[in-house]
A and B are shown apart, each in its own frame.
Chain A
Amino acid sequence: MSEGIGARVKRKEDKRFITGKGKYTDDIRMENQAYAAFVRSPHAHARVLGIDTSAAEAMEGVVAVLNGQQLTGDGIGNIICGWAITSKDGSPMNMGAWSALATEKVRYVGDAVAVVIADSQSQARLAAEAVEVEYEELPVLVSTRDALADGAAQIHDNAPGNLIYDWEIGDAAATDAALAGSAHVTEMEITNNRLSPNPMEPRSAVAIYDEAEEHYTLYTTSQNPHVARLVLSAFYNVAPEHKLRVIAPDVGGGFGSKIYIYPEEITCLWASMKTGRSVKWTSDRSEAFLTDAHGRDHVSTAKMGFDANGRITGFKVDTIANFGAYMSLFSSAVPTYLYATLLSGQYNISNIHCNVRAVYTNTVPVDAYRGAGRPEACYLIERMMETAAREMGKDPAELRRANFITQFPHETPVIMTYDAGDFGGNLDKAMAAADVAGFAARKAEAAARGKLRGLGYSAYIEACGIAPSQAVGSLGAGVGLWESAEVRVNPVGTVEILTGSHSHGQGHETTFAQIVADRFGIPIDNVQVVHGDTDKVQFGMGTYGSRSGAVGMSAIVKAMDKVEAKVKKIAAHTLEASEDDIVIEGGAVKVAGTDKQMLWHEVGLAAYTAHNLPDGMEPGLKEGAFYDPVNFTFPAGVYIAEVEVDPETGVTKIVQFTAADDFGTIINPMIVEGQVHGGIAQGVGQAMLENVSYDADGQLLTGSYMDYCMPRADDLPSYTLEHNTTVCPNNPLGIKGCGEAGAIGSPPAVINAITDAIGTNDLQMPATPQAVWRAIQAAKSPMAAE
């Protein structure tokens, strides 16, 4: 069986995980290890008047109790947001100071004010409880809607009225005019609920300081160890880059939440230097709810206009995005360039305008979570399309089809250039697989059982392959978003791929090996993928934004191009043939049309013995490459959800979920399908189950799995997946990316199906049983709503 591109190869990395031999950060134990426990604010907003550590310091096993004054005194820098967004009046964004350990003020429940280092974890935790912090409580602001109101609590001095930026994209006047001239305008107020990412592995860090070498090592749960090292050295002044090694070993899921460099990792590194001990911190789930960056939390109003033929005339959106108490690393980019730029969806829309105001509240910082901006855009567009179709009495599939973009490249009014796609084909495939034609009969059968059956569509598009460095630089990004790779062919012909991408569930050790197998004809068992260690891999931007295929693998391809060129030179020299006649086939390097060949490993050996290389050629067979994408990639698809609602309880069961995706070239269909399954589950979670909830005092009400509703096996169906491939023209493998699609496309499909079932459009996420039951009651009798 082929192991190359398109092969359903079983994962190489599985064996260690299924036998319990995976190596996660919390599995590491150093010889002189001490444990950190953080003293966290119980208040959402308060002034820190004093910290008394004397009782804690006297406790058994306590090594040190450290606070924010000491941290800043040692020159540790504030936590930064790495993407500068400029308001429409030209002013820069208002970034409030965020110290890893709060000094003057705490701004959310869980904000760290001190850390205890002790011999054991339980000693550290007990001592952390004994640290006495005197607070002066301040007025609290929680609600996204209230953040900009007069009299709202003021969270950062340099962000008057809690406004971080007031940004816009598109042509406001033209859009207003288009809406004014429309035959029909659909208008909705739409909330995108706040989510907690909840990778199953809680965050963890082990910081090791080598005093003799003045060198630090950090094992951490990171999606991007090189970015962590860069930020830790360049901005937080923990150590210069060459004196800091960051290792992200096996990482148990990320979904965005492990992109960022959090106060805990910074503090552990600093504390290891202060105490001379290796310092370990592992979050428990309660701490994760309080400190891992949340996702989404938008409130928007939207208007979409249509002409008499059902063509979209204009789309206008006004959004408030809640950033929580501080600006996390990529927070600013999420509701702007990852959101508003996707508001054209799959549709030909001439006029779009979106205004976004980002605000502070006394809640956990909000940043990118699987999909990051694109789910928010997709949810708006696709709920508007479905609602508009119902209002205009049109078939929702056909309304979409009539507005689909069919010519590529297509430039949208919100600065994206879609390069390839077949939106109508996606719809056809999804409709056939979902048996839309048979829906009416299924609905009638369900009604006979007392159930309300509904069907909902979502036609999503996203921008992945993040991102062309020059383009993102011009839009405010603080880094380039290329990727790097190194391909090392060993003297025995085995291959090591060193990649700046990071696998935390995505199966890179298999997929990346497959493209090498495909190219050089060697078994994937002879390919080792090395990632996650800044001492081994020279640099990398990491894994998020569905970029590891489109960008990460493109870098590997570029490095393989160079290896192949050298291999051909060596073979041509050895076999006394022309380089142009050399082909690599089935593990051999051949002179085309002859029986002359060198086996793959013979070329490797020749390169390293260097006994007979072409004049001037350096020995060895190792090449590196950086790949900078030329455009975003645009995965797209159509999802169809079919649900049954129990009108007596509001319980909704997804009876069928169909996804037709266009991901471009697929390397390993098994792994790609797994990504879609997981994405859909997270999208269904957002649509029906998950919601981070605070009370008016800023106390987190959903602080454990007792109250935060994680999707479980019996909440979900088996999924029906289809692929409709158009190759991406802008990268060497033709890959678009698949990691986030499920989470982007599924929420509107689910909500559209539920609202179809219950006959009202007035429903927000999450559509919990209670929410659905209430919507049914309200639709029955408007008076019964309250």
Chain B
Amino acid sequence: MDKEDEQVSPKNWGLDEFRMLNPVSKKAMYLSNGIKIAILAAIYIGIFMGLRMANDLPFWLFYLATPVFVPLIAYYAVFPGIFYRHYRYRMDDDCIEIRRGVIFHSHILVPVERVHQVQVTKGPILRKFGLANVTVTTAGGTASLQYLDDDLAEFVAENLNQKIIQMLKARE
């Protein structure tokens, strides 16, 4: 392995061992979920007010909506802490592994050999915190490395793209 290869190896970024997310990702999740909670709460209050004002609709519809909205709001409130605690990812020369989940825990292993396309995405909230998601597309679906530091996400995408190009060249 020459010097240039060593610099772009996932090992140099400590990616060959399972890593936790940057703690700042929790803030991004809290902000994102806070918006979702605000929207849900507005709809919930809207239902309450609407049913009180509309005399021809039964008020028990509000009690029917409660078991849907309250657990959902609670889930969004506790999600970031649990998600952050359980999220682990690693990447080496031939595979990407992600361990994640809040209620359902999952372990995803994507062989680099199967990756067709790599995409880095960052919405306004992620941009604010200097984070990005890396989505890898295979013929059987997609997998995401979420809330990575911006420069790490770029490195992962670049590294995977290089590997795909090398693989395709070797096949020609």
Please indicate whether A and B come from the same complex rather than being unrelated chains: no
Chain A residues with a Cβ under 8 A of chain B: none
